Structure 1
Amino acid sequence: MYDLTGFQRDLMYVIAGQEEPHGLAIKEELEDYYEKEIHHGRLYPNLDTLVEKGLVEKGQRDKRTNFYTLTRRGRREIEARREWEGRYVDLE
């Protein structure tokens, strides 16, 4: 996960937190978080990169709608990242 951008990590967290979200649901969630519009030209190429890296799987709900899920490797990467963050951030 060290080679991902912050935006790509955020995409993975959103996908992990929803059940098979489609691109527009991911986009809306990130727009709420970033408080600005996320353009398709930023969203979909980054999702494709995560698919190419084997962290996310892309499925097809119908001819126009894809959905995304984390792969087993993607889940392991998030867990490893959270462990790493936990060594440095103690919010208790």
Structure 2
Amino acid sequence: MTEPSPASTFARNLPPAGELVVPGAVDTRTAAPVPPPQSYFDPINWHRTALHECLHATGHKTRLNRDQSGSFRSKKYAFEELVAKMSAAFLRII
């Protein structure tokens, strides 16, 4: 029996459409906004986006408390994007 892929395991644990809400989210600042799967040409891209946004949500002050105050093109913003990308790479879903 083959082991399920990380992508299929991730997909089974997510709601099927709309805004993906991170477990423990109490408001929109702790939610991960993800367009519905129908917005993507290839289903794997929805999974990649959902994971990426969930990984950003781990930086919320009630979780890992990363500094997410950076504006677009700032070093803080770039660092947060790198955290999400590298985290996804470690989870083998990129």
Task: Normalising by structure 1, report the TM-score.
Answer: 0.29
Q: Which has the higher strand share?
A: 1
Greater helix content? 1
Higher relative contact order (CA 8 A, sep 6+): 1
TM-score (norm 2): 0.28
